[in-house]
Structures are given as structure tokens and as C-alpha cells.
Amino acid sequence: SQQGEEDPQALSIQEGENATMNCSYKTSINNLQWYRQNSGRGLVHLILIRSNEREKHSGRLRVTLDTSKKSSSLLITASRAADTASYFCATDSRDQGGSEKLVFGKGTKLTVNP
Amino acid sequence: EAQVTQNPRYLITVTGKKLTVTCSQNMNHEYMSWYRQDPGLGLRQIYYSMNVEVTDKGDVPEGYKVSRKEKRNFPLILESPSPNQTSLYFCASNRRNTGELFFGEGSRLTVL
């Protein structure tokens, strides 16, 4: 069951530029999370934003959430080559049995060129 | 160090040969889950467990089994692997089912 959809699928920028990735979802949520995955490695949690929050910062990361538009954005400022990775959003979703779980989008592949 | 450990990291096997991928976490987390990641399909949940002896199917459970006899361990069992189970598998744990997930490093499985 697909809940979050990231956009764009791929993004290539130069070092020092900002990178913006978007996530749209279909149903109401309690929270939305962003994860990072280096090629072939495990996902690493970046930030969680609750449905009653509009913006959150962590270092060079800025996440916004617009529940009226059912969308979130992840901004990485002053990007570095080491930021090259895939970025996923995950939203909580209730399945047919009523159980809550996290559902991941397909990710945005970010390439930061030195 | 808080971590989720899964083994093996890489495995090539043949159709029908039973295999187990182990997963262990040292954070005393209630919830554990297994995902598979395939190109173009993203991350899909196979099974999850809310506590010891409590497991439930995720989105793609066919061909897999799990068990949760101890809180820290959550092995994934492929009784009769088939080529369509060739994938990158991740184990993850979290304190509550929609909270921050901690992932293992992944197990890349190839079924010939």
C-alpha cells in the first residue's frame, strides 16, 4: 500500500547548492518521517515531524509539513558530496485490520557533484 | 552502541534450499519488522512483530515465515526460496510501531 510519494525521483546538483525533495501522501497522518539511505546500506532516520508541527530543523536539514495539501518537503542546505544518497519519506498508515504502521515512498535519489 | 544486526549480509542460494536470515537488536525495542527493497518498488514490509510471540503479516508475506521467541531476535525464514525472492532485505526495530525505525545494514539475497 503506497502512502508517500517522493518527487523528484532523481535530483542532481552541484556542491554548495540547496536540494529540495517533496513527499505527498493520501490519507491523514499522525507523523511523517524522512530517512536517508547510502547506496545498498540500511536506512538512517533523519527527522520526524508531527501532524501539528509545520516546520522542523536539524543541522542543515529543514522539513516542512502542510497537512492541508498532504505534502512535506525536505530541504538540505549547502549540500556536500557526502549528501549523495536516496531519501525516503515514511508516513504512518492504518491497514485494513486497523493496525498502524509506517509506509515508505519510493525515494528521491540525490547526487551532489563536487 | 545501539544497533540492529542481521546476518548474513550476502547470500547466494538455489531454489528450494531453506534459509534463515537472523536479526538481533540491542535496544530493548518492542517492535521489529522485515522489509524487502526492490528497484522501482521501494521498501515493502514483509512481516512485523509487536512483541514476543506476537507477529503479523505485512504487505508481501507470501513465501516467508518469522518467529519472535525472544525480544531481541526476529529471524526471517524462507522455507523454499524462489528466484522472485532475490532482493535486498532489511530488518528494523522501533519502540512503537510508528516511531523512529532503526535499520540493519541489509542482507542481499540471490536465489538461482
Give B37-71 pLDDT, tens digit per residue. 998 888 999 999 999 999 999 999 999 999 999 99
Task: Specify the pLDDT at position A36.
Answer: 97
**Which residues of chain B make contact with A105, given a CB cutoff of 8 A?**
42
Contact B98 A104 (CB under 8 A): no
| pLDDT, tens digit only, all 114 positions of chain A | 446 788 899 999 999 999 999 999 988 888 999 999 999 899 999 999 999 999 999 999 999 999 999 999 999 999 999 999 999 999 987 666 666 778 898 999 999 999
Give B56-110 pLDDT, tens digit per residue. 999 999 999 999 999 999 999 999 999 999 999 999 999 877 789 999 999 999 9
State how far residue A93 is from chain B, nearest Cα, in angstroms.
9
Task: Specify the pLDDT at position A3.
Answer: 63
Work out whether the CA dihedral B63, B5, A86, A2 comes out positive or negative: positive
Q: Residue A37 in contact with residue B90, Cβ under 8 Å?
A: no
Neighbouring CB atoms inside 10 A of A111's CB total 14
Task: Specify the pLDDT at position A98.
Answer: 66
The x, y and z cell numbers of residue A13, run together, are: 546538483
Give B3-18 pLDDT, tens digit per residue. 999 999 999 999 999 9
Task: Specify the pLDDT at position A1.
Answer: 43
Task: Specify the pLDDT at position A27.
Answer: 86
Out of B33, B43, B98, closest to residue A30 by CB: B98
Question: What is the identity of the amino acid at B41?
Answer: L
State how far residue B71 is from chain A, nearest Cα, in angstroms.
19
Q: Residue A83 in contact with residue A91, Cβ under 8 Å?
A: no
Residue B28 has pLDDT above 90, yes or no: yes
